[in-house]
């Protein structure tokens, strides 16, 4: 059995015409397919069609769409108030709200209406496809098509294959996604699918650093943006998507993976959820917002009136990038300890305390600097408990003189960026390991779905696969926490000197 989705007479039904359904209908119609829109709300589908047509005309006015393409897409949009009108569809995509019983009832009704070979897909973002299809007679023709909002702008679509989904269905829906000008990735039917599961790492590790009292939300976000190249840090992202959305999703994923420590939610996250502090939409979450949605950011820059260090002692193998910043500030970088100048270390995975004890350094004068990421844009400093803040401040002043911003955090294994990127990379490796998606699809999904600067496996390569593995091993050893256990996918490639993207 097969379905040629390139056929010119292909008919696609869209059930549910809210924001997601409208977007799906728009890209389907623009892809040259007859699109039948249905909504249980009277006149809901007609209103959605009018909104799509207005959007298309707006694109024409902006020069982004030709008048001919607008007219063709408009002609492809058909409205019906009767579910039976979908009987002739080759594909039906459901986009109603996230309620399992509602979806099961709808799919049962669709099965009675459509033909034997019609593919029925759900746009669910969190419900297992197998659960939706459980009561159907033909579960093999059911799959997921998880689009991202706003659909016309977000190119990614996750094609979800459940245990009983036939290969021809997956093949057809990948082709359909391409005809809609989306970028499809094939994903297993697991909690959170690919993007929502992969996005767990940035939020949970940011919350872990905050919960440990190592850094503030503003500091963590600034490091991720400036040094890590992310468009948003984890706390900004939680506030944007809504804590009423992301906290329940984190809990579903945690429970779905039977309390895997890598997925553990935070009580601080839960407390904001119960307080109704949902982020931008409620005027406050991790940050406060004014009526225009502008964030009140307390700032992440370390400031002091100290004079820039004239000499710093480089203990061990200090990063060349860090040494270059001091030299740019006019400071001498020496190997011999003169007994009074600040000592600089650039550990991977360790905290400042561990680095001082291991090398026998004077912890009062030792300042640890994260050598990873774009340190020319933002450098992260930390000291051991009891450290002399005067040493930190003079080091900070020298870095600021060299032209970089500085964030000073509490002593933390792996600083902020090392921990965050290692955990993102590790979860990406684990998704490849357990077969949720191919290495290439993992990276594609995370860059397109979450706007990451790199996919998780590419991120491991950029950091160094061996170095990423070593950071995780140090984090696990220092904290004793199983959440930092390296994926076997990562371990094997680190041992063999291979790229993290190397397939099995």
Does the annotation mark 396 as catalytic? Answer: no
Does the annotation mark 125 as catalytic? Answer: yes
CA angle (83 as vertex; 79, 85 as ends), nearest 5: 60
Burial of 437 (0-12, 13-18, 19+ CB in 10 A): buried
Per annotation, catalytic residue among 76, 122, 123, 125:
125
Contact, 198 vs 436, CB < 8 A? no
Q: Which of 373, 502, 485 is nearest to 443 (CA)?
A: 502
As a whole number of angstroms, the distance between CA 189 and CA 129 comes to: 6
Phi-psi region for residue 58, left (φ > 0), alpha (ψ -120 to 50) or beta? alpha
Cβ neighbours around 53 below 10 Å, total: 16
Burial of 463 (0-12, 13-18, 19+ CB in 10 A): buried
Does the annotation mark 43 as catalytic? Answer: no
Torsion of CA 439, 444, 449, 455, to 10 degrees: 70
Per annotation, catalytic residue among 90, 111, 123, 158:
158
Does the annotation mark 146 as catalytic? Answer: yes
Give the DSSP per-residue string, 420-462.
Answer: HHHHHHHHHHHHHHTTSS-HHHHHHHHHHHH--SS-HHHHHHH
Per annotation, catalytic residue among 76, 196, 341, 412:
196
The token duo for 256 is 């779905």
Cα end-to-end span (Å), the chain: 30
Helix (H, G, I), strand (E, B) or coil at 337: coil
Contact, 456 vs 428, CB < 8 A? yes
Contact, 246 vs 202, CB < 8 A? no
Burial of 320 (0-12, 13-18, 19+ CB in 10 A): exposed
Q: Which residues contact 29 (CB under 8 A, 6 or more apart)?
A: 35, 52, 73, 74, 76, 77
As a whole number of angstroms, the distance between CA 17 and CA 34 comes to: 16
Per annotation, catalytic residue among 90, 94, 146, 164:
146
Q: Which residues carry out catalysis? A: 125, 146, 158, 196
């Amino acid at each position: 059995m097969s379905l040629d989705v390139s056929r010119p007479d292909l008919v696609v039904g869209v059930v549910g015409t809210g924001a997601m359904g409208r977007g799906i209908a728009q890209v389907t119609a623009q892809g040259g397919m007859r699109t039948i829109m249905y909504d249980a709300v009277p006149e809901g589908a007609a209103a959605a069609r009018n909104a799509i047509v207005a959007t298309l005309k707006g694109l024409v006015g902006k020069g982004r769409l030709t008048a001919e393409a607008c007219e063709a897409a408009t002609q492809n949009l058909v409205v019906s108030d009767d579910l039976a009108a979908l009987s002739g569809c080759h594909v039906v995509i459901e986009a109603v709200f996230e309620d399992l019983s509602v979806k099961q009832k709808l799919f049962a009704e669709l099965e009675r209406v459509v033909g034997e070979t019609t593919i029925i897909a759900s746009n669910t973002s969190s419900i297992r496809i197998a659960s939706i299809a459980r009561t159907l007679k033909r579960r093999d023709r059911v799959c997921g098509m998880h689009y991202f909002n706003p659909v016309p702008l977000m190119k990614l679509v996750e094609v979800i294959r459940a245990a009983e989904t036939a290969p021809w269905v997956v093949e057809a829906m990948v082709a359909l996604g391409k005809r809609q000008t989306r970028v499809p990735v094939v994903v297993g039917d697991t909690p959170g699918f690919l993007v929502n599961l992969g996005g767990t790492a940035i939020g949970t590790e940011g919350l872990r650093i905050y919960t440990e009292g190592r850094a503030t939300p503003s500091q963590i976000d600034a490091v991720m943006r400036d040094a890590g190249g992310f468009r948003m840090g984890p706390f900004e992202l939680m506030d944007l998507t809504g804590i009423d959305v992301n906290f329940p999703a984190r809990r579903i994923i945690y429970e779905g993976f039977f309390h895997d420590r890598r997925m553990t939610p935070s009580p601080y996250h839960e407390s904001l959820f119960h307080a109704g502090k949902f982020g931008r939409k409620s005027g406050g979450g991790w940050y406060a917002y004014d009526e225009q949605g502008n964030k009140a950011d307390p700032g992440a820059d370390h400031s002091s009136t100290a004079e820039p260090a004239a000499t710093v002692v480089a203990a061990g193998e200090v990063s060349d990038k860090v040494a270059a910043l001091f030299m740019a500030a006019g400071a001498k970088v020496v190997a011999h300890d003169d007994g009074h100048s600040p000592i600089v270390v650039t550990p991977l995975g360790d905290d400042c305390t561990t680095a001082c004890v291991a090398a026998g350094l004077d912890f009062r004068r030792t300042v640890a600097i994260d050598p990873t990421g774009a340190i020319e844009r933002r450098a992260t400093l930390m000291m051991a408990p009891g450290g002399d803040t005067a040493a930190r401040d003079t080091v900070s002043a020298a870095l600021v003189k060299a032209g970089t911003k500085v964030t000073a955090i509490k002593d933390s294994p792996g600083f902020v960026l090392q921990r965050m990127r290692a955990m993102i990379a590790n979860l990406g490796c684990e998704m490849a390991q357990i077969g949720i998606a191919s290495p290439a699809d993992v990276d594609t999904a995370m860059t397109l779905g979450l706007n990451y600067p790199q996919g998780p496996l590419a991120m491991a390569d950029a950091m160094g696969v061996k170095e990423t593995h070593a950071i995780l091993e140090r984090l696990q050893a220092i904290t004793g926490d199983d959440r930092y256990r390296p994926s076997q996918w990562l371990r094997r490639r680190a041992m063999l000197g291979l790229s993290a993207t190397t397939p099995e």
